[in-house]
Structure 1
Amino acid sequence: MTYCVGMMLDAGLVFMSDTRTNAGLDNISTFRKMFHWDKPGERMITLMTAGNLATTQAVVSLLDERTKAHDERDPSILAVPSMFQAAKLVAETLREVIAKQAGEGMEASTAFNATLIIGGQIAGGPPRLFLIYPEGNFIEAGSDTPYFQTGEIKYGRPILVRAFEPGLSFDEAMRLLCVSFDSTIKANLTVGLPLDYHLYRADSFEIGTTGRIAADSEYFQAISQGWGDALKNALDSLPVFGD
């Protein structure tokens, strides 16, 4: 399993993903689930992947290959004219990979399923964020739904629902995401550090601040401890039952 979150802020876009994959408790590995394509001054696109690892790696490899092929039959993510077309291209690529793998292997296509989050900005349009389903259809984030999650979403979602605001600064958004991921990691062993992140500033048209929060990160440990202490203090401050 995995956990990925993409957010739309007034300031831009924020992405965070874990890196854990597992096929049982005795077979845990680390794989990157966040990928970028950009033409500085023209476009920046970030993709996060959740689901079958072979499927997601094949999708990313095809997208990479087609940026170099210059073949009109295989359009490139670096050439599409809008973020909607970028999401459509990635959705079609995902559907293509799932159909091919299902046809060559097990009958149940669900074994090869994956869900993707794609976001970014192409010159002439605003920053946009999409959630792509295994079937190849997708939805777009907006004012009513300003963030998307994939993977093991249920443990970290209450944090986002209560505290997210579009006016958050990048620093505030990072703190919020760290709390959301910490809650998920503590509740589910299939999600784990390191965490990859990307902070994209609107209208910059280039990859923004990226990095990896490692297992020994003092910042993340401070967030985790501080959030735990704050919850205990908040619980102690609530009215006593029966009063």
Structure 2
Amino acid sequence: MTYCVGMMLDRGLVMMSDTRTNAGVDNVSTFNKMHSWEVPGERVLIMMSAGNLATTQAVVSILEERTKAHEERMPSLLEVPSMFQAARLIAETLRDVIGQHERAGEEAESSFGATLILGGQIDGGPPRLFLIYPEGNFIEAGADSPFFQIGETKYGRPILVRAYDPEMSFEAALKLLCVSFDSTVKANLSVGLPFDFQLYEIDRLTLGHRSRIHADDPYYQTISSGWGEALKQALDVLPDFDLGG
């Protein structure tokens, strides 16, 4: 399983993904689920993936190869004129890869499906964030849905819904995401550290800070233990249930 979040802020985009993949409890591996493309001063694209690893790696490989090819019949993420067209290209590539696997008649315990989050900005347009489905369709984030989650979403969603604010700083957003990811890790063994994150500041048209948070990271440890204590204190402050006896 996976957990990835893409978030839109007034300041820009914040993307975070876990790195755990597993084919059973005795076959756990670490894989990068965040990929980016950049033409400084022109475009920045960041993609995160959840689902079948073979499918997502094939999609990334095809997209990478197209950025290095110079044939008109092979559209590239480095050439499309808008983020909408970038989302459309990735969605079509994902649908084609899944279709090829299915037509080949290969058998596996899990499906070949995958879901993607794409965020970024192309010169001449605003930053945009898309959720791309395995069927090849996609939706865009907006004021009513300012963040997207893929993978194991339910455990980390409540804190995002309660605490998200479009005016928050990158630093505050990363704190919020660390709490959301920590809640997910504690509830589901199929999601795990390290976490990758990427920042993008509006109109910079170059990738911002990217880093990886490991399990022994002092800040993460502070957040993990501090959030647990804060929840206990909040629960203690609330009145006990009255049984009427």
TM-score, L = length of structure 2: 0.97
Residue matched to 1:112: 112
Q: Which residue of 2 aligns with 1:218?
A: 218
Q: How many residues in Structure 1 have an aligned counterpart in Structure 2?
A: 243
- Structure-2 separation of matches of 1:95 and 1:108: 18
1: CA distance between counterparts of 2:143 and 2:155?
23
Q: Are 1:85 and 2:53 an aligned pair?
A: no
Judge conservation of contact 1:98–1:109 (CA < 8 Å) in 2: no
Q: 2:68 — aligned with what?
A: 68
Q: Distance in 1 between matches of 2:146 and 2:109?
A: 30
**What one-letter code is carried by the residue in structure 1 that aligns with 2:60?**
V
Instruction: Tell me by how many angstroms 1:73 deviates.
Output: 1.2
Question: Deviation of residue 107 (structure 1)?
Answer: 6.9
Unaligned runs of 5+ in 2: none
Look up the match of 1:182: 182
Query: Contact (CA 8 Å) 1:182, 1:224: kept in 2 or not?
Result: yes
The answer to whether the 8 Å contact 1:63/1:76 transfers is yes
Following superposition of structure 1 onto structure 2, how do residues 1-243 of structure 1 map, counting pairs within 5 Å? Answer: 1-106=1-106, 111-242=111-242
Query: Cα deviation per residue 1:16-40 (whole Å; 9 max; x = unaligned)?
Result: 0000000000000000000000000
Larger mean Cα displacement after TM superposition, 107-116 or 2-11: 107-116
Secondary structure of 2:29's aligned partner: strand
Q: Distance in 1 between matches of 2:98 and 2:24?
A: 23
Cα-to-partner distance string for 1:42-68 (whole Å, 9 max, x where unaligned):
000000000000000000000000001
TM-score normalised to structure 1 length: 0.98
What amino acid is aligned across from residue 27 of structure 1 in structure 2? N
Distance in 2 (alpha carbons) for counterparts of 1:93 and 1:36 = 16
Partner Cα distance (1:186, 1:81) in 2 = 42
CA distance in 2, matches of 1:217, 1:90: 34
Letter in 2 for 1:182: D
Question: Deviation of residue 109 (structure 1)?
Answer: 11
Please give the alpha-carbon distance, in whole angstroms, between the structure 1 residues aligned to 2:108 and 2:123: 40
Q: Is the Cα contact below 8 Å between 1:99 and 1:109 reproduced in 2?
A: no
SS, match of residue 143 in structure 2: coil
Structure 1: tracts of 5 or more residues without a match: none
- 1:106 positional shift: 3.2
Runs of 4+ in 1 over 4 A off after TM superposition: 107-110
- Greater Cα shift, 65-74 or 133-142: 65-74
Letter in 2 for 1:206: T
Secondary structure at the aligned position of 1:111 is classed as coil
